[in-house]
Amino acid sequence: MEWRLAFLFALLCLLSPAAGTVTPPIMDASHASITVSAQLQTTEPAGKSWVAPMASSWAADGAVSQPFSNFTGSVNDRGICQCAISLPDTTFPADRVERLEYTAYNLSQRFEAEFSKVKEYVQLISIYEKKLINLTVRVEVMEKDSISFAELDFELIKIEMKEIQKLIITLKDNFAGSSVIIDQLEVEIRNMTLLVEKLETLDKNNVLHIRKEIWALKNKLRECEKSKSELNAVPLPPPAPGSCSHGGVMNISKPSVVQLNWKGFSYKYGAWGRDYSPENPEKTLYWVAPLNTDARILEYYRLYNTLDDLLLYTYAKQYRIVYGQGGGIAVYKRNMYVNWYNTGNIAKVNLTDNTVAVTRNLPGAAYNNRFSYANVAWQDIDFAVDEQGLWVIYATEASTGNIVISKLNDTSLEVLNTWVTKQYKSSVSNAFMVCGVLYATRTLNTRTEEIFYYYDTNTGRQGNLAIIMPKMQEIIQSINYNPYDQKLYVYNDGYLLEYNLVFLQESQENV
Ligand SMILES: *[C@@H]1O[C@H](CO)[C@@H](O)[C@H](O)[C@H]1NC(C)=O
Ligand SMILES: *[C@@H]1O[C@H](CO)[C@@H](O)[C@H](O)[C@H]1NC(C)=O
Ligand SMILES: *[C@@H]1O[C@H](CO)[C@@H](O)[C@H](O)[C@H]1NC(C)=O
Ligand SMILES: *[C@@H]1O[C@H](CO)[C@@H](O)[C@H](O)[C@H]1NC(C)=O
Ligand SMILES: *[C@@H]1O[C@H](CO)[C@@H](O)[C@H](O)[C@H]1NC(C)=O
Ligand SMILES: *[C@@H]1O[C@H](CO)[C@@H](O)[C@H](O)[C@H]1NC(C)=O
Ligand SMILES: *[C@@H]1O[C@H](CO)[C@@H](O)[C@H](O)[C@H]1NC(C)=O
């Protein structure tokens, strides 16, 4: 085997415990010959020569080969000598050293590779860390900016479109695919759905204008449904507006979502409705009164002269009062009636100029969550309006928490008459009055309420009912009845819903 001296030095250097980096060994000729002759008895074996990378780079440094002595050697231009010697295989385990060196070299290479990978990872991690911080900041910003109405409205519209599509499908089934109108409506609805999707990608504010069209479509659908029931030979004209010539509430329609309240998604508590002024019943005035997020204080409310204005959130009159309490609000003859904050008093607010016209104590009425409704706080005192006028639904200690109904003089707020029921108020979810009859609801599950109890102040009769009342969200915060359109206006966790009541016809009553 032929060896280059330089390599051996390099090798020794590599194998020494302190070897961390490999540097080309430099030596002078005399020293080299002494070292070599002293250490190695050289012979002349045959074999391949192997040059370590460092050694070769050094040797390649302009070396001029020339015979020197018995050894094959050379001196480079800097006067540094290098020589090849031969050593016997038996004296020194050169091949093992060779393998060891190779492994060491290999290892150091691999270590370098791994180490640079680690450096890469560290860099990546710091990049990801920055990205994460950026994302966190952005999410926080999004959380602070409450979601815009426009976006929410799209959600609402999508819910409505789904509702309408379901309705159309049932209608179609009922007509057995024979009606041209239905087909036409279906096309229009599909068109509308596409439009909603397109608008969503374009201009988010246009959504408000579509609502009008949706409303028109819904009305067409209702007419369609009516004509269907006429076709089905059930010629039952609904009782005249404001009339009580019927046998009471028999059923209720599915809800239709009118809108999200004007304050937004987080205002889950409140009430809404349509004013009833018997002298001028067809004139519309809609009111929306979301409570503050404490679920207690009524501070701001809005009035709209038409349903279109309400749908478009336009031409609203906004007022502030200090303060109403709870969602037991009702509006009658352009006055709002509400429990006054932190008292057992009731107040009348003139909606023409937002003045508090009258406040008066409601005798015996429990308040401040003594006997509120189940799942709804601060509604110990709940006003109601029906064909006969203004009512208040509450409970007293004397009634042991059972519902008390009082008829009020809407001018003076004096109690005209009182009925005590056998229904515990805190176990019903809400209540409303129709033609002097109290109807109470209870919660069946997150999707359904039930009108389960009635008390008739005309006769003193009370009893149970089982009218299923579907809902969009979990909690019915309030219910208001309008005698002219005979609809229920329901505030359902911030969403404004309306329902049509179905009455038992006089002719059917005795069947
Ligand atoms: C050189 O080596 C040869 C054998 O390879 C030997 O016979 C000779 O004496 C050596 N010469 C010197 C100067 O050492
Ligand atoms: C040298 O490293 C490579 C991988 O980089 C490996 O495949 C090879 O077996 C190693 N050789 C020795 C002798 O360890
Ligand atoms: C987050 O990154 C985006 C782009 O990647 C950049 O426009 C924005 O300014 C960064 N925000 C912060 C808070 O670093
Ligand atoms: C769908 O809507 C577009 C634009 O609103 C209207 O031009 C088109 O006639 C409608 N198509 C049908 C079938 O109603
Ligand atoms: C009540 O109305 C619902 C929905 O309109 C209907 O599915 C149900 O059959 C009606 N119930 C009665 C007893 O008429
Ligand atoms: C409400 O206030 C207006 C304006 O002050 C007044 O004309 C109207 O008579 C009041 N209504 C009631 C019911 O007091
Ligand atoms: C209601 O109160 C007003 C004012 O006190 C009074 O003029 C009116 O007669 C009362 N109405 C009834 C039905 O008691």
Residue 5 has phi, psi (to 5 degrees) of: -55, -45
Residue 397 confidence (pLDDT) above 70: yes
Q: Identify the pLDDT of residue 157.
A: 65
- If residue 64 lies in a helix (H) or strand (E), which one and from where to where? strand 64-65
Split at pLDDT 50, 70, 90, the class of 77 is confident
Contact in structure between 477 and 493 (CB atoms under 8 Å): yes
How far is it, in rounded angstroms, from Cα 361 to Cα 471? Answer: 34
Closest ligand to the CA of 508? 5
Q: Identify the pLDDT of residue 147.
A: 46
Q: Is the CB of 137 under 6 A from ligand 3?
A: yes
Least-confidence region, from 139-143, 189-193, 488-492:
139-143
Write 238-244 long-range contacts (CB < 8 A, 24+). 238/486, 238/503, 239/486, 239/503, 241/281, 241/282, 241/483, 241/484, 241/485, 241/486, 242/278, 242/281, 242/387, 242/483, 242/484, 243/387, 244/387, 244/435, 244/436
How far is it, in rounded angstroms, from Cα 81 to Cα 14? Answer: 21
One-letter identity of residue 233:
A
Q: Identify the pLDDT of residue 433.
A: 97
Sheet-wide strand order for 64-65: 2-4, 81-86, 72-75, 64-65
Split at pLDDT 50, 70, 90, the class of 510 is very low
What are the sequence ranges of the domains in the chain? 2-92, 149-231, 246-509
Least-confidence region, from 57-61, 271-275, 334-338, 418-422:
57-61
Residue pLDDT, tens place only, 324-354: 999 999 999 999 999 999 999 999 999 999 9
pTM, entire model: 0.58
CA of 191 from ligand 4 middle (Å) equals: 6
Q: Identify the pLDDT of residue 96.
A: 61
How far is it, in rounded angstroms, from Cα 448 to Cα 442? Answer: 9
Q: Identify the pLDDT of residue 199.
A: 59
Question: Residue 282 has which token pair?
Answer: 């067809």
CA of 388 from ligand 7 middle (Å) equals: 15
Residue minimizing CA distance to atom 7 of ligand 3: 134
Q: Is the CB of 184 under 6 A from ligand 4?
A: no
CA of 171 from ligand 4 middle (Å) equals: 22
Name, in order, each residue with C-beta under 8 angstroms of 346's C-beta and a sequence gap of 6 or more: 337, 338, 339, 340, 359, 360, 361, 362, 381, 383, 392, 408, 413
The residue ranges of DSSP E strands in 396-475, in sequence order, are 402-408, 415-424, 430-434, 437-445, 448-456, 462-470
Residue 36 confidence (pLDDT) above 50: no
- The upper half-sphere exposure of residue 494, i.e. CA atoms within 13 Å in the direction of its Cβ, equals 15
Q: Identify the pLDDT of residue 250.
A: 94
Whose tokens are 């409970």? That residue is: 395
Residue 211 confidence (pLDDT) above 80: no
Sheet-wide strand order for 270-274: 270-274, 286-290, 297-304, 317-332, 335-340, 345-350, 355-361
Split at pLDDT 50, 70, 90, the class of 14 is very low
Split at pLDDT 50, 70, 90, the class of 196 is low
Q: Is the CB of 254 under 6 A from ligand 5?
A: yes
Identify which has the larger pLDDT, 221 or 311.
Answer: 311
Split at pLDDT 50, 70, 90, the class of 479 is very high
Contact in structure between 444 and 456 (CB atoms under 8 Å): no
Task: Spell out the CATH class of 246-509.
Answer: mainly beta
Closest ligand to the CA of 195? 4
Q: Identify the pLDDT of residue 11.
A: 39
Residues forming a β-bridge with 276: 332
Report the nearest atom of ligand 4 relative to the CA of 191.
Answer: 1
Residue minimizing CA distance to atom 5 of ligand 6: 353
Q: Is the CB of 335 under 6 A from ligand 6?
A: yes
Q: Identify the pLDDT of residue 176.
A: 56
Q: Identify the pLDDT of residue 71.
A: 57
Residue pLDDT, tens place only, 139-162: 555 555 544 444 555 666 667 667
**Crossing angle between the packed helical segments 5-15 and 94-144, to the nearest 10 degrees:** 50
Report the nearest atom of ligand 2 relative to the CA of 110.
Answer: 5
Least-confidence region, from 78-82, 151-155, 193-197, 405-409:
151-155
How far is it, in rounded angstroms, from Cα 88 to Cα 43? Answer: 6
Cα-based angle 168, 508, 437 (whole degrees, multiple of 5): 90
Split at pLDDT 50, 70, 90, the class of 204 is very low
Instruction: Give, in order, the Cα–Cα distances in Å from 46 to each of 2, 38, 144, 405.
Output: 7, 22, 83, 120
Residue 475 confidence (pLDDT) above 50: yes
* 360 C-beta neighbours (distance < 10 Å), count: 16
Residue pLDDT, tens place only, 249-270: 999 998 888 888 888 888 999 9
Q: Is the CB of 99 under 6 A from ligand 2?
A: no
Residue minimizing CA distance to atom 12 of ligand 6: 350
Residue 17 confidence (pLDDT) above 60: no
* 278 C-beta neighbours (distance < 10 Å), count: 13
- Tell me, what DSSP letter sits at residue 378? S
Question: Residue 184 has which token pair?
Answer: 């036409």
Residue 371 confidence (pLDDT) above 70: yes
Q: Identify the pLDDT of residue 511.
A: 41
Name, in order, each residue with C-beta under 8 angstroms of 313's C-beta and a sequence gap of 6 or more: 149, 208, 262
How far is it, in rounded angstroms, from Cα 366 to Cα 424? Answer: 13
Identify which has the larger pLDDT, 208 or 257.
Answer: 257
Q: Is the CB of 253 under 6 A from ligand 5?
A: yes
Mean pLDDT of all residues in the chain?
A: 75
One-letter identity of residue 488:
L
Q: Which letter, b or e, does each residue of 203-218 get, where b requires 16 or more Cβ atoms within 10 Å of its Cβ?
A: eeeebeebbeebbebb
Cα-based angle 63, 68, 74 (whole degrees, multiple of 5): 10
Q: Identify the pLDDT of residue 183.
A: 65
Residue 226 confidence (pLDDT) above 70: no
CA of 106 from ligand 2 middle (Å) equals: 6
Contact in structure between 186 and 161 (CB atoms under 8 Å): no
How far is it, in rounded angstroms, from Cα 256 to Cα 17? Answer: 85
Can you tell me the mean pLDDT for 276-281?
A: 92
CA of 206 from ligand 4 middle (Å) equals: 17
Q: Identify the pLDDT of residue 80.
A: 72
Residues forming a β-bridge with 495: 260, 492
- The three-state secondary structure class of 402 is strand
How far is it, in rounded angstroms, from Cα 287 to Cα 104? Answer: 86
Residue 9 confidence (pLDDT) above 50: no
Split at pLDDT 50, 70, 90, the class of 456 is very high
Q: Identify the pLDDT of residue 308.
A: 83
Residue 271 confidence (pLDDT) above 60: yes
- If residue 81 lies in a helix (H) or strand (E), which one and from where to where? strand 81-86
Least-confidence region, from 213-227, 253-267, 287-301, 316-330:
213-227
Greatest mean pLDDT among 21-35, 244-258, 376-390 lies in 376-390
Identify which has the larger pLDDT, 179 or 183.
Answer: 183
Q: Identify the pLDDT of residue 234.
A: 44
Q: Identify the pLDDT of residue 472.
A: 86
Instruction: Give, in order, the Cα–Cα distances in Å from 59 to each of 10, 27, 79.
Output: 12, 12, 12
